[in-house]
Amino acid sequence: MRIAFLTAPEGVEQVELTQPWQAALKAGHAPVLISTESGEVQAFHHLDKADRFTVDEVVGEVPADSFGGLVLPGGVANPDFLRMNGKAVAFVKEFFELGRPVAAICHAPWTLVEADVVRGRELTSWLSLRTDIRNAGGTWVDEQVKICDHGPNKLVTSRKPGDLKAFCAAILDVFAEEMTAR
């Protein structure tokens, strides 16, 4: 199954991109790096520049329905940039309209808040987002990983890089369910 990994051109937390990516590859999925611009994305180790990754597709030029699921890696700058890009926000929202699974870690739920898809859902994130999530109508919980199946799709969220093992296991389970349902 093709899995979209949506990032901004700069600011994605490298480990939150690479660990789920590798887990998806090992499970037989086809991860695709989507960004708001062609070229490369600059990853970070917290605030320090890390590796660069080649963009496969540009948001707005590829339809969400060509993917079985979406992963939103964190980093502070990454989701802040994405939530200011109308095409990125529309791309995220389309996964919810299609009923496809979405996974978001750390600060990534900021993009979900902007897409207005957290209302009535239970999710977790980096602690500083809890008020934003509550103000957007979601219920914030302090859990390593939260799977919410309220609505037509499943939403998998995690708090931080330290939760990546549980996050990767949860997204693989949810993506496997999606493949079986198709």
Question: Mind listing the pLDDT tens digit for each residue in 4-59?
Answer: 999 999 999 999 999 999 999 999 999 999 999 999 999 999 999 999 999 999 99
Cα-based distances in Å from 47 to 42, 44, 73, 160: 12, 6, 15, 15
Alpha-carbon span 116 to 165, nearest angstrom: 28
Answer yes or no: are the C-beta atoms of 107 and 74 closer than 8 Å: yes
**152 pLDDT more than 90:** no
Question: Per residue in 111-144, pLDDT tens?
Answer: 999 999 999 999 999 999 999 999 999 999 999 9
Q: How far lies 159's CA from each of 8, 15, 37, 75, 108, in Å?
A: 19, 13, 27, 11, 10
The pLDDT value recorded for residue 180 is: 85
pLDDT in tens, 89-113: 999 999 999 999 999 999 999 999 9
The set of catalytic residues is 107
Kindly state the DSSP code that residue 75 receives in the 8-state scheme: -
Strands 102-105 and 69-72: parallel
Contact 172, 24 (CB under 8 A): yes
Q: Which two tokens stand for residue 51?
A: 């590796």
- Backbone angles phi and psi of 34, in degrees to 5: -110, 135
Whether the per-residue pLDDT at 182 is higher than 80: the answer is no
The CATH number of domain 2-181, selected from 3.40.50.880, 1.10.10.10, 3.30.413.10, 3.40.50.720: 3.40.50.880
Length of the chain measured in residues: 182
User: Which token pair is 74?
Assistant: 């964190």
Tell me if 34 sits within 8 A of 59, measured CB to CB. yes
